[in-house]
């Protein structure tokens, strides 16, 4: 994977890579805990104010997605229910629940890595963050460090399949 050290942090591409690397660090924590490896960070004024990874298995809570935990942390950090000036970086395209939470929290922008062709709700299957009838829309950029994000997920599920087939 790419080095977490970015030489030119003034470039938007480099900033996106830097913050996505931080989301990948969170995803690796989930991987190590046998959770689906998704990580998220929320940035306000170029500072990370929230970081989280999936904790569904550990908490036995289907809502304990990285994005949901990060939103709770960020609203607490800002003492506000709105995240108008925040950017969320996520390693995998958010699901319906997480996309809806981003709309309700009024996240300014979403940057994600890998597409989710099965449950992605930011353009792949549905497009909740930009649905015409909702009162808030989330700007979006996709594909940032997509290969690294997808590789971590595919490695996790390959390992799961091997264990389930008794090969490991």
Active site residues: 67
Burial of 138 (0-12, 13-18, 19+ CB in 10 A): buried
Contact 21, 2 (CB under 8 A): yes
Number of C-beta neighbours around residue 163 at 10 A: 11
Helix (H, G, I), strand (E, B) or coil at 139: strand
Q: Residue 8 forms beta bridges with which residues?
A: none
Distance CA 111, CA 144 (A): 7
Number of C-beta neighbours around residue 24 at 10 A: 24
Distance CA 156, CA 138 (A): 29
Number of C-beta neighbours around residue 36 at 10 A: 18
Tracing tokens 């689906």 back to the chain, one arrives at: 36
């Amino acid at each position: 994977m790419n080095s977490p050290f970015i030489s030119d942090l003034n470039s938007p591409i480099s900033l996106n890579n830097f913050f996505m690397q931080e989301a990948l660090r969170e995803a690796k924590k989930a991987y190590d805990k046998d959770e689906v490896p998704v990580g998220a960070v929320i940035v306000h004024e170029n500072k990370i104010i929230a970081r989280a990874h999936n904790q569904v298995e550990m908490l036995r809570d289907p809502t304990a997605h990285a994005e949901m935990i990060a939103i709770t942390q960020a609203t607490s950090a800002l003492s506000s229910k709105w995240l108008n000036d925040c950017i969320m970086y996520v390693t995998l395209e958010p699901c319906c629940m997480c996309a809806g939470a981003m709309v309700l929290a009024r996240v300014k922008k979403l940057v994600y890595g890998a597409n989710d062709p099965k449950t992605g709700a930011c353009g792949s299957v549905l497009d909740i963050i930009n649905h015409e009838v909702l009162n808030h829309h989330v700007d979006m950029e996709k594909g940032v460090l997509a290969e690294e994000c997808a590789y971590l997920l595919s490695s996790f599920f390959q390992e799961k399949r091997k264990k389930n087939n008794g090969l490991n």
